[in-house]
Structure 1
Amino acid sequence: MNRRTLLASAAILAAAPAFAQDDPVKVGFIYVGPIGDGGWTYEHNEGRLAVEEHFGDQVETVYQESVPEGADAVRAITQMALSGADIIFTTSFGYMDPTIEVAANFPDVVFEHATGYKRAENVSTYSARFYEGRAIQGHIAGAMTESNRIGYIASFPIPEVIRGINSAYIHAKKVNPDVEFSIVWAYTWFDPAKEADAARALIENGADVILQHTDSTAPQAAAQEAGDVITFGQASDMAEYAPEPRVSSIIDNWAPYYIDRVQAVIDGTWESQDVWYGIDQGMVEIGEITDAVPEDVREQALEMKDAIAAGEYHPFTGPINRQDGSEWLAEGETADDGTLLGMDFYVEGLSGEIPN
């Protein structure tokens, strides 16, 4: 997702009023999928529950699930603000413009938009460096595929998703030069039927590893049905499919951020900001790597995780060329955040075009 530009001027600061101890803060959440999706929305809702557990009667939380991106989001966010919410978390990229629109009409409410890049005096943005987890998944996938064909179910052709594809491919290719990626664009974040169909099509085309940037567990179920196909949990652990087909996962841990931002509202210290956290800060976690993964591959994956966390390794380290063969990163050069945040190209070796 073309989330933000880190070269932008410093965000304008806005302080929310402090709340009396007996005046609970109303915390709202807008979700793109159902809270039981087992992936993206599930983990955001786990963050909401963590807020309730941490603050007790200091807060009241409300949420609306399965809100479509676009005009419906404007209505849902507006209604939540009218209901007295003091802080509202809007948790999908397509909520960016609706959040900015509603925030302009409610200057006394503060908003937190997940994965976007537009900010205002009362709007912050936050996201996670999912591409770090994709590198680890790519390493495992490249080492474990027997057909050398890896399927990737992509949601929308936005920079976040493209970054993930590139990161996974680079690291699969490092461990297995013969690997090929087949990418299916689902044009949805959550549609179990469509995700299952995409997984089955990839498997029928020879893929024995399925990666996904969609939210449901349907690809896991399709792989389990097919047999001899491995998968990775997306956004959530999806551990009900372990030890196979799900051999590991990327887990989004939003709870510490949500608690921190609600505390800032309570204290009257909330400020508009932009954060992009990764494995180091714990916003991106790697789920258990099961015994289905060979021991040496597991150790290599965990070493990569530790190196990323320590700042000793960047998943986009040259030499890396663009898809057309032109140089992107020279030997030892690492990608800057500005390029990553606006990524709109495949790296060399990936086939096909990125849809408009």
Structure 2
Amino acid sequence: MTMYSIQGPCHWVGDKSETAPVSSVTEAMARINKLYEAGTPFFTKQSIREVSKQLQRSSLCKDKITVKGVDGVGVEFDVLTGEIRKGFDSGAFEHEIRDPYIVYCARVHMTQNLLRWHGNLPEATCSLRIAHWMSRRKKDTKEPAYNYALRESQVVRKSFRASRESWEASQMCKDLESILESVPKTLNIERVLGFSCGSMSIDRNSSRSEFQHALILTVRDWLRDRNGSGRVPSYVQDPVYTSIDKSTLKESNVMVLDDPQALLEIDDSSVVFSCSSNIPIKEIVADIARPAVLIWEHVGEEDEETSDEYGVYVCLVPCHPNADI
């Protein structure tokens, strides 16, 4: 599926909330910043779970998905599944709107949207929003039209094995293993979770994805040896995974979970890995749990809530004193 997305209309729910909806961009900015500075979690497992349950049972056109803003004000998002939209690139193509999914917005994304686009006020204080994937297809035959090349299954498996061997022989892998060996034995660690590691079967970014998945296997094997157990639960989550990716990872005993199930698996006994994610994984993790180990790209002082720098940073310090589990 070609990864286009679209968001439908949204509006405030006519309930009796203690807080009135914002009436201007200025008020929305002030409210978001005030809640953030007060330590209000923008993400909780409860809110993510509630939205996920609605998505599982409401996927027909004209259904509604209700989301609570960080200020407690309810917002309804329209479900558009099944609608057809004109193609962006040529009159020969069209887009079919597929299932809805959750868009995660950290404070920086919420305020940037307000500053750049003057925002849609009903969704202004929503850290969870609803959008839809769209599949590109030929208008006449309705056949799928892809913007990328998929590698064949046997090619992916062979390439992944080679990348894993290359990774395990690298100095970065040895440095990571050395750091992991310093993790206190008193910490109870039971599972490994990886986010936004990319597709190994999509040709344009396969190499980077293979090395990130190889890193996850290194962490999994370290934890298996550390705990003296034969099997360590290992999960990954990324909407771009193809059936080839899923079967390849399954052979390595790594399970692919749909969003947001892997997020809901994060707890104090987890190792979490993510490098340049397309969702604000740092902010989500900081609010919902205190993982034993965090591995992600280096974040400098200038990177408040996002970073595109490549490289890994291992954190052994619980990330948030007010985690909502």
Q: TM-score, normalised by structure 2?
A: 0.28
Q: TM-score, normalised by structure 1?
A: 0.27
Q: Name the structure, 1 or 2, with higher relative contact order (CA <8 Å, separation 6+).
A: 1
